[in-house]
Chain A
């Protein structure tokens, strides 16, 4: 019996997880960025080039910023300009660079009960949804998408307080699936929409193109003055990669369902 215990312990000791040895760069980004699949194409060449392993921690925009503030990550890639500017102004981040943009689209049931117009502003579309009392699913999680959505509501007359407005606190994919199930409207980033639209029967883009729905991505390194232990050098290398010719090319050439998702902005 004692032998058995010893063997079990040895086996487990072998399986015991140990912290890795290679240089690691911790990147906090949003779930929608990760879900778009871009990073799976963008990061490996960087890793090969530099030997740095990129740990992608995908959370809501708000949490990504918080992680940066706490010094738990080395670099932050989000799409919330106001929050990013505050982050830098408060001294948590340095070297902010524009990386790319995609846009948001307003999707909804093909029947379009709120009669949202294809052309026209996003605010007008939201106004029609509110007037019709049509079901709307909100991210409700302080993510970049959520912030943009609230901004549109602000222009359309204020955040709804009614039953048809459902704040679910989940990721983009789940919200889209729910919208398909509930035949509801929602605001989605084009990337996730393109990735998932095959699986969302009855849902289609009903309004797009308003420049207000512009979704700009920024990358910021965590301030080494504030967090000396942050891997500043690797963070700067990553920022260099994202904004390099090669990096920007990969971004431009990344397609989903045959369509280009992101438009590079780093090099004017």
Chain B
């Protein structure tokens, strides 16, 4: 195991520009897609947790099983939409960064929604009521509920981030692994292992883990300060 670790450090320290590029790309894609998916994801999760409605349980079951979808399948589904031969082909975003971000956002959505919902359902049922009797409107109830459960909600975001930064199926399918453009650490790993260079693949994998760890640590530190 020495080889890959040494290689990883060498790659980073010598400032191999391609490695830095794909690292940056992985981060950009993962951060963007996680942020984008939180916009509908967190409020949806809060709504599911706090509002009683028919079909709530089956919806949660569907969401949970969506989390098990292989990334390639999600990639395929989005591909069929944005391919030139597909309904949204006119947008011309296939094999560009936005395509990867969209695919990854879709991957992340069920994670954010279902984990937010479960973390918020642990809040006291009366919590929204208390807020309402103090004069809070719907948006404020949402905000305060998320704030109260911010630990678990943050964990949901981090879980989503972890899933997308480590995925390769959607990135490959939708980005095309184009050098200096849509190549990420994960698609590069696939490429190198496909070529038989397992050591480089492992080294890149180590770098990916270091990045993911770094983001996790940063965010946890930021929240601790509250």
Contacts and interface: CB of A to CB of B under 8 A. Distances in A.
Q: Do chains A and B touch in the complex (CB under 8 A)?
A: yes
B83 interface: yes
Contact of B85 (A70, A172, A173, A192): A70
B84 A71 contact: yes
B73 to A, nearest CB: 16
Nearest to A70: B85
A159 interface: no
A17 B178 contact: no
A198 B89 CA distance: 44
Interface residues of B, number: 36
Contact of B97 (A18, A70, A177, A199): A18
A205 interface: no
Interface in B79-112: 83-86, 89-90, 92-98, 100-101
Nearest to B193: A174
Interface in B15-56: 25, 27-29, 31-32, 35
B178 A15 contact: no
A176 B97 CA distance: 32
Given A177-B196, A199-B196, A19 B93 contact: yes
A192 to B, nearest CB: 8
Contacts of B84: 70-72, 227, 229-230
A17 B195 contact: no
B195 A173 contact: yes
Contacts, number: 90
Contacts of B89: 71, 229
Contacts of B193: 173-174
A171 B92 contact: no
- Among A19, A177, A227, A230, max chain B CB count under 10 A is at A19
Given A16-B28, A229-B84, A57 B196 contact: no
B198 interface: yes
Interface of B: 25, 27-29, 31-32, 35, 83-86, 89-90, 92-98, 100-101, 176-179, 181, 191, 193-198, 222, 226
25 contacts: A4-B222, A15-B31, A17-B29, A17-B100, A19-B97, A19-B98, A20-B96, A26-B95, A31-B194, A57-B95, A58-B191, A69-B85, A70-B86, A71-B83, A72-B83, A171-B195, A172-B194, A172-B195, A173-B193, A177-B196, A199-B196, A199-B197, A227-B84, A229-B90, A230-B84
